[in-house]
A and B are shown apart, each in its own frame.
Chain A
């Protein structure tokens, strides 16, 4: 009975059937939009079909119990079949090299006999050289009138299939660890805001099981609006969020080139533990928790406050930063002037020839190239007005001995961070490495064995070269032909 189950579980037929079922099921998952709200499905397929599909788990197919079951079965199949085959492969690899016998001679792929004109010793010398040059690890067997060489290489390629399978299993293990102990959350943060907790969609599986069994207190707190909140043991602070845009000939285009948040990790006392400017492909990891730049939003009705840098023309190192809200005015001691922000615009560009500033419409208030119109006061009288902007193709009007630069508009946006903890990621990456190496070993390599038998007979010395390979046989035949030629070549060459 046990052996029938074992045979069933190790069979390739089962593997193929499982893979086919998984493939076909996956197709369904790509045809039906996954994880949509229930209303969407009712509208799309009608009530009855939607109910039926929901019963089959089609709306979260890749996590449906039966899909996971098939995946697990595949894993079991992989384990059983590897366990079943590994010992014999290992034995084959560990088996000591033996001289060519008659039994072996019948099954070899290549066999050639050469009449050697030199002495027995010379033949031995050349054989050693040749096999070493071709990278074979060799063994020598001396008898009275005969010397046998046996060599092999590429034995590792027989392990390629196990490496690949181990890779798949590691990935599945890592995924399981991730599901049990990892979580994905979001953390929206306005500029200059900090938070000591994140929002989770669902609690990690393991604590969920433990708390439902009453063995552990849940680490999350239900939140009416956002699902669950989970406290962190540190604070996350968003210093700044900005969007950069691609430049073309006429200035900034509407195409974003980078979303970036300046993030700091703070402890209870407000001390900085880590900080980084994170962008979409460059997250921050702190104590196994990774913060990804995942989105942003505009704070409703926010006016923002504009930061400007005032710099002396004579001594550029002398500068002062001021933050001014639209409509407000601030006195700058460095230049003894009062700067008033008259108006702001989210997208402006300067015509390099005429110096005129053009203001563009934006659909959703994107701050593509913000510009501010300033009035400079000496006491109560306006000296001049000018426009500065984030990226200026020309030069703004600056008649006095200082310049004013646009730095940033504060308080307009909030950033959305994706927060992820995945303790299984190391295991998954180990699996990734194996699954990349395995097929290369298995499909490009080949376990090659070569035998060279040097015999003294009545006419002199005869040499038999025989070889076999477990894969890529045609390539091996060519290699052997070359080997034989080289052997002959060394003979004629002396």
Chain B
């Protein structure tokens, strides 16, 4: 068939699949609060339909590349890898949903999918099918990317499960003062970010570095002592949900704008200038107020939501077990993904490990999940600690996947979006 036609077909099919997943995300979210079984069923159906369409789109794109005389697997740039990531995560999710008969994870998993696809549409990244640079022309490419992304997807599900079990774990949210303290910290972080961003590149870097260290230290503290500090676990959950919710909100607004007149310029650069750093003061204030309000809402309503959901949520043991199974699926996949990449690097450059940032971050991720497995199997850790560790692991995955390309530089530069 004609390459142009196939390319067009795959683009449309991806767009329809994106709409299906967006609908599923909404349905699963409403299902979480409403307990209507029909909504859950509908969500599963739209997800499955979206998945079937996306599968078609994937093969159409593959066929298109052959028809265009390029002939390569559609797994080679940020656009294609994000699509494949969402495809893998939906695949594994559907298997989990079928096997464990639970739908309450759907909102979290499809939330990740929605964010990834929204980012993909808005980031202004290249969607054309172009030839591969000579270094990427290898049979190892397919296995390397396939294994890594299936692994990432399994970790993604584990993350969603862990977010849910963190919520389940939060018996109380602490006193009102801790909510205000959280609000204060959040406001302070935003304000400091605003001040330091204006002071040049060095200050900006210092800000992110400091924030990173702070979050790392906090997570480490919660992993070690989390089970004794339930209110802090809940605070972590609230922060994470605020970030996720904020992103979803921004994505929703940006997508609406994008549909009315497709974005000009890079999403990366205008994400903050259309919100927190908008030149128009009321919008600036509104964005900040929105984040603070969102946090307050999540923090003050989280427990109530949990109590409403409690009756039909899976037991904490079950969540723990699913999370563990996903990681014990993802970790061997990631291992093989890293190894295939390593063998490939050796045939292309004569060095199987060169400490390139992407490699190093994948090793860090591998280390974190190795700790997870050992702590669980040898020391019998369960519950909160494991959930926090799984969340930390997925943060490392996200950084390996996106952060390295957006922030650092290296061999895997296919992910850049400027």
Task: List chain A positions with a Cβ less than 8 A from chain B.
Answer: 12, 15-16, 19-20, 22-24, 26-27, 29-31, 34, 62, 175, 184, 246-247, 253, 255-259, 279-283, 290, 292, 294, 418, 420, 422, 425, 428-429, 432, 435-436, 439-440, 443-444, 474
CB within 8 Å for A435 and B352 given contacts A16-B371, A255-B131? no
Contact present for A26 and B352 (CB under 8 Å): no
B328 interface residue (CB < 8 Å to A) = yes
Of A23, A34, A282, chain B has the most CB atoms within 10 Å of the CB of A23
State whether the Cβ of B346 lies closer than 8 Å to any Cβ in chain A. Answer: yes
A sample of 9 inter-chain contacts (CB < 8 A) reads A12-B374, A20-B371, A29-B360, A30-B357, A30-B360, A62-B355, A294-B349, A418-B350, A444-B328
* A22 and B339 contacting across the interface, CB-CB below 8 Å: no
Chain A proximity of B415: nearest CB distance (Å): 15
Q: Is the CB of B408 within 8 A of A420?
A: no
- Counting chain A CB atoms within 10 Å of each CB, which of B69, B350, B370, B404 scores highest? B350
- Given that A283-B350, A418-B349 are known contacts, is A432 also in contact with B360, CB under 8 Å in the complex? no
- Contact check, B347 vs A281: say whether CB atoms are below 8 A apart: yes
Instruction: Determine whether B138 belongs to the interface, using a CB cutoff of 8 Å to chain A.
Output: yes
The 4 A-B residue pairs whose C-beta atoms are closest, nearest first, are: A420-B350, A439-B332, A246-B131, A443-B328
B70 within 8 A of A: yes
Q: Does B130 contact A (CB under 8 A)?
A: yes
A440 to B339, CA, bound (A): 14
Question: Which B residues are CB-close (under 8 A) to A425?
Answer: 346, 352
Q: In the assembled complex, how far is the CB of residue A368 from the closest CB belonging to chain B, in whole angstroms?
A: 13
Measured between beta carbons, the chain A residues less than 8 angstroms from B268 are none
Most chain A CB atoms below 10 A, which of B137, B138, B335, B342: B335
- Is B221 close to A, CB under 8 A? no
Q: Given A247-B69, A258-B134, A436-B339, A31–B408 Cβ distance below 8 Å?
A: yes
Report the Cα distance A420→B350, complex, angstroms: 6
- Inside 8 A of A280's CB, which chain B residues have their CB? 134-135, 137, 348
A293 (CB) vs chain B CBs: closest residue: B134
With A and B bound together, what is the CA distance between A142 and B216 in angstroms? Answer: 61
A12-B374, A259-B134 in contact; A23/B368 too (CB < 8 A)? yes
Q: Please, which residues of chain B bring their CB within 8 A of the CB of A19?
A: 367, 370-371
Which residues of B lie under 8 Å from residue A246 when comparing CB positions?
A: 70, 130-131
A127 to chain B, nearest CB (A): 31
Q: Is the CB of B375 within 8 A of A16?
A: yes
> By the criterion CB–CB under 8 Å, are A184 and B367 in contact?
no
B338-376 near A? 1/0 per residue, CB < 8 Å: 010011101111111101010011011001101101110
What is the minimal beta-carbon distance from A145 to any residue of chain B, in angstroms? 42
Task: Please tell me the number of chain B residues within 8 Å of chain A, measured between CB atoms.
Answer: 49
Which residues of B sit under 8 angstroms from A432, Cβ to Cβ? 339, 342-343
Across the interface, do B374 and A16 meet the contact criterion of CB distance under 8 Å? yes
Q: For A34, list chain B residues within 8 Å (CB).
A: 355
Contact partners of B331 in chain A: CB under 8 A: 439, 443
Which residue of the partner chain A has the closest CB to B130? A255
- What chain B residues lie within 8 Å of A256 (beta carbons)? 133-134
Q: Is the interface of B mostly helix, strand, loop or mixed?
A: helix
Chain A residues near B134 (CB-CB < 8 A)? 256-259, 279-281
A443 vs B335: C-alpha distance when bound (angstroms): 12
B336 at the interface (CB under 8 A from A): yes
Asked whether B1 is an interface residue with its Cβ less than 8 Å from the other chain, the reply is no
Which residues of A are found within 8 Å of B137, using beta-carbon distances? 257-258, 280-281
Residues of A within 8 A of B209 (CB): 31
| Bound-state Cα–Cα, A228 to B135, Å | 28
Residues of chain A within 8 A of B346, CB atoms compared: 425
Q: Which residue of A lies closest to B70 (CB)?
A: A246
Given A29-B355, A280-B137, A281-B137, the answer on whether A23 and B350 have CB atoms closer than 8 Å is no
Contact of B378 with A by CB under 8 A: yes
Q: Is the CB of A257 within 8 A of B379?
A: no
State the Cβ distance, B347 to closest chain A Cβ, in Å. 6
Are B70 and A283 interface neighbours, CB within 8 A? no
A347 to B134, CA, bound (A): 20
- Complex CA–CA separation, A62 to B364 (angstroms): 13
Q: Chain A residues with Cβ under 8 A from B371's Cβ? A: 16, 19-20
* Besides the known contacts A26-B363, A30-B360, A257-B134, 20 further A-B residue pairs in the complex with CB atoms under 8 A apart: A12-B378, A20-B220, A20-B367, A23-B364, A26-B361, A26-B364, A30-B357, A184-B350, A184-B351, A246-B130, A257-B132, A258-B134, A280-B135, A280-B137, A280-B348, A281-B344, A292-B348, A420-B351, A422-B350, A443-B373
B274 interface residue per 8 A CB criterion = no
Please report the C-alpha to C-alpha distance between residue A292 and residue B347 in the assembled complex, in whole angstroms: 8
Smallest CB gap from A417: residue in B: B350
Inter-subunit contact B355/A22 (CB<8 Å): no
Closest partner residue, chain B, to A61 (CB atom): B355
In this complex, what residue of A is CB-closest to B353?
Answer: A175
Closest A residue to B139 by beta carbon equals A281
Task: Let me know if B404 and A30 touch, CB within 8 A.
Answer: yes
Interface residues of B in 382-418 (CB under 8 A from A): 404, 408
B39-84 interface with A by 8 A CB criterion = 69-70
Centre residue among A253, A428, A439 by max chain B CB count within 10 A: A439
